[in-house]
Chains A and B, each alone.
Chain A
Amino acid sequence: MSDIGQPLRAPLLTQSTTRAATGPLLVLEGLTKAFGGVRAVDDVSLSVPTGSVTGLIGPNGAGKSTVLSMIAGAIRPDRGRILLAGEDITGLPSFRVARRGVIRTFQTASVFPHLTVTENLLLGVPPWRGERIYASFIGRRSWRIQERDQLGRAAEILERLRLSAEADSYAGELSGGQKRLVEIGRAIMARPRLLLLDEPMAGVNRILAGPIEELIADLRATGMTVVLIEHELGIVERLCSPVIVLAEGRVLIEGEMEDIRADPDVRRAYLVG
């Protein structure tokens, strides 16, 4: 489990499970969700190829975050199915979805403000034996050894995120951009099968946006499957393939960014101006 002493980048970002080389990791079939009388997501079907960074773009109110929340189990769809590696995870509560390796970040950075940055990252580790009640009293030496390995990995991630100096700071004391980095670092600690990033650059200054983009590129290089919601189309173009455009709760088009830019429907719905 320990990555201490290993070359930094590769083991740091490696996923927890070996992946099948082919086929989609995530499939959505006819996903629908209405709030009151408004259909936020309307019969959305799409697939996310294993090992891809799939971009999910669209104008405000297109339903992107609702789709992400349904995948993560935070919102229950009214209709449709969500398949993760062939397993139907529709309607599972978010902690069960997370235990299957689907880890998300939130539109507004969602850290644990009165936990230190290191502790925030430690909570990224999937549920483990040390967190059982009995482990507080029995076998402390055993979980401390495991925790030491986790701390080593957290220290490496913080170094990668240029946050080592803030390891003992409360997460609530950081700037908005740093909180965003902590949240992404915490997600990486989980070694997810599928990482859902909801506007990771939102509210982040240019100095911090660079490292976040580099990090996502590194995740792509390691073969991690990522779904990225992002408004900055330059970033989407550099990182994502394929790109899916949502408008008014429906899938408008899917493909490569250069094709999408040229599509007249997309230009009308989203890209004009």
Chain B
Amino acid sequence: MSAATQLYLATLSVYICVNVIASWALDIQFGVTGVLNFSFIVFQAAGAYTAAILSLGPSSTSGGFQQYVGGWKLPFPLPILGAMVVGGVLAGIVGLIGLRRLRSDYQAMVMLVVSVIATVVAESETGLVNGPAGVSLVVNPVVSLVHATRQTQTWIFVALCAAVTVVVGFGMHALLYSPYGRVLRGVRENDRAVEALGRNATLARMQVFIIGGALAGLSGALLVEFIGAWAPNSWYYPETFVFFTAVIVGGRGSLTGVAIGAALVGVGIQQAVEYLPITIDPSVIAPLEWVITGALTLLFLWVRPQGILPERRRRFPPPAAMTARGDAR
């Protein structure tokens, strides 16, 4: 296999892992708990910027061609962990503003506004994260940790991303297939009833907002450490809808379904469009991706709202069988 093919496949693999983690993060918010987080991409961006700033060192060390707040050169995996913390904390702050005392439709509007404000601030305040040009020259942590060929380093990073995805997947499974997950689905289905049964629906929404924010931050950190750069044009508010489409197409609340949706929508559409034998203006390629993404959302909402792999029905064995097995599942 040629080096170019290997790099192509490795890049696709990293993108799939990043999209799967991000889509799971949105799924626990939107798919499982019913929170319409239209600012989701902001938390991925916050994670990416944080990981970059915690990896690059002070901006003065790069010859001053990029300006950003802070700047530390922390060893792996601290930039990634820092990205998760910032994603979670930012989600907590946004959640405090948007999730309390507002109906879900107004919550969605607040989130959309937050997303628009965030990109405007990032672009306007050039000293914050280097304005419209964004940050660059972020070094892949594997390069400094492992002395090997570039290809091997790339595949090690792919393995790292895959391992992180598996760990996140197990964590998500543990959360969703537990009594806690049941409460979250209760909030999604009928928050008035769930409150009347003693559960604090607002607190549950805040919790998934923070968990999702931290995971979005993680996905952004992995991505920026692979591609080495991050700028506002990669996280304008419509990008959030790619993840919404992934969740809707895959199946809300279904981990496997959402993973399929993430690979299909987040990576598959883009690649399929790239390979189309287009004889018209190449500038239609990017808009075509958006058209297909939007059309897929509508198609699934109309024809198959439960998605490719619907949320699994939780069945419990009869009490007698449970007693014999000593287990509830």
The reply to whether the CB of A270 lies closer than 8 angstroms to some CB of chain B is: no
Interface members, chain B 169-189 (any A CB < 8 Å): 171, 174-175, 178-183, 185-186, 189
Which residue of the partner chain A has the closest CB to B211? A133
User: Which residues of B lie under 8 Å from residue A136 when comparing CB positions?
Assistant: 174-175, 178, 180-181
Decide: A119 near B314, CB < 8 A? Known: A130-B179, A136-B174, A152-B319: yes
Closest-CB distance, A12 to chain B (whole angstroms): 14
Are B319 and A115 closer than 8 Å at their CB atoms?
no
Query: Cα distance A144–B197 when bound, in Å?
Result: 21
Q: Does any Cβ of B come within 8 Å of A271's Cβ?
A: no
Contact A115 to B182, CB < 8 A, known contacts A94-B195, A127-B198: yes
CB neighbours (8 Å) of B313 from chain A are 116, 168, 170
Please tell me if B193 contacts chain A, counting CB pairs below 8 Å.
Answer: yes
Interface residue B65 (Cβ < 8 Å from any Cβ of A): no
- When the two chains form the complex, which single residue of B180, B190, B197 contacts A190, counting CB atoms closer than 8 Å? B197
In the complex, whether B327 has a CB less than 8 A from a CB of chain A is: yes
A229 CB to closest chain B CB (Å) equals 15
Task: Given the known inter-chain contacts A127-B198, A148-B323, please indicate yes or no for A135 contacting B193, CB distance below 8 A.
Answer: no
A210 contacts chain B at the CB level, 8 A cutoff: no
Q: Is the CB of A140 closer than 8 A to any CB of chain B? A: yes
* CB nearest to A133 among chain B residues: B180
Interface 1/0 per residue, A108-131 and B, CB below 8 Å: 001111111011001110111011
- The answer to whether A197 has its CB under 8 Å from any CB of chain B is no
Q: Is A115 a contact partner of B189 (Cβ separation < 8 A)? A: yes
Q: Are A95 and B198 in contact, with the CB atoms below 8 A?
A: yes
Q: Which residues of B contact A104 (CB under 8 A)?
A: 196
Number of residues in B with C-beta < 8 Å to the partner? Answer: 36
Interface string of A26-41 (1 = CB under 8 A from B): 0000000000000000
With beta carbons under 8 angstroms apart, the residue of A110, A130, A145, A168 that contacts B178 is: A130
Which residues of A have CB within 8 Å of B311? 114
List the A side residues contacting B193 at CB < 8 Å: 106, 110-112
- Nearest residue (CB) in B for A124 is B197
CB 8 Å contact bits of A138-161 with B (1 = contact, 0 = none): 001001110110011001000000
Q: Are B174 and A103 in contact (CB under 8 A)?
A: no
Which residues of B sit under 8 angstroms from A110, Cβ to Cβ? Answer: 190, 192-193, 196
The reply to whether A143 and B197 form a contact with Cβ atoms under 8 Å apart is no
Count of A-B contacts judged by CB separation below 8 Å: 125
Known pairs A111-B193, A118-B316; A144 contacts B329 (CB<8 A): yes
The answer for the CA separation of A252 and B161 in the assembled complex, in Å, is 70
Given A93-B195, A98-B198, A170-B313, do A123 and B178 touch, yes or no (CB 8 Å)?
no
What is the CB-to-nearest-CB distance from A106 to chain B, in angstroms, rounded to a whole number? 7
B194 within 8 A of A: yes
Which one of B185, B196, B200, B318 has the greatest number of beta carbons of chain A within 10 Å? B196
Complex alpha-carbon distance, A143 and B182, angstroms: 13
A131–B187 alpha-carbon span in the complex (Å): 13
- B149 CB to nearest A CB, Å: 38
In the bound assembly, the distance between CA atoms of A119 and B328 in angstroms comes to 13
Q: Is A268 an interface residue (CB 8 A)?
A: no
Binding site for B on A (CB under 8 A): 4, 72, 74, 93-95, 98-99, 103-104, 106, 110-116, 118-119, 122-124, 126-128, 130-133, 135-137, 140, 143-145, 147-148, 151-152, 155, 167-168, 170, 186, 190
A103-B197, A123-B183, A123-B197 given; 15 more Cβ-contact pairs under 8 Å: A74-B192, A93-B200, A95-B200, A110-B190, A111-B190, A115-B186, A116-B313, A130-B178, A131-B182, A131-B199, A136-B178, A137-B174, A144-B328, A148-B323, A152-B319
